[in-house]
Amino acid sequence: MLAVVWGAAARGETPLSSRAKRERPVAVVGKADEPLPEIHVAPDAITLLWFPADIQRKTLTVDESRIRVLDTGTRSIIVQAVPDYRLEERHELGVFFADGQAPARAAFALVMDPAEVDTRIDVQRPELPTGPCPAEMQRAAPRPEDFVLKGFVNARGIPTVVVPKVADSERGFSSEPGVSYRGNGWAIVEVWIRNLSGRSPWTPRDVVLKDKAGENLHARLVTDAKGPVAPGDRVRVLAVLDRAAPSVGPVVVLEVLGDDNRSFVIPRVTLPMEGKP
The domain ranges of the chain are: 2-126, 146-270
Q: Determine the topology of domain 2-126 in CATH.
A: Immunoglobulin-like (2.60.40)
Asked whether the bond before 103 is cis by omega within 30 degrees of 0, the reply is yes
Q: For 4-60, how does the pLDDT look when each residue is reduced to its tens digit (9 = 90+)?
A: 445 444 444 344 458 899 999 999 987 777 899 999 999 999 999 999 999 998 889
Torsional sign, CA 221, 225, 230, 234:
negative
Q: What is the pLDDT of residue 25?
A: 95
The mean per-residue pLDDT over the stretch 236-261 comes to 81
The reply to whether 2-126 and 146-270 are identical in fold is yes
Q: What average pLDDT does the structure give for the chain? A: 83
Please list, in sequence order, all residues whose beta carbon lies within 8 angstroms of the beta carbon of residue 111, skipping any fewer than 6 positions away.
38, 39, 40, 41, 89, 90
* pTM exceeds 0.95: no
Helix, strand or coil, per DSSP, at residue 238: strand
- Where would I find the beta strands (DSSP E) of 138-211? 160-163, 167-168, 173-175, 178-182, 187-195, 204-210
Per-residue pLDDT at 143 exceeds 50: yes
Please list, in sequence order, all residues whose beta carbon lies within 8 angstroms of the beta carbon of residue 146, skipping any fewer than 6 positions away.
152
Q: Does domain 146-270 have CATH number 2.60.40.10?
A: yes
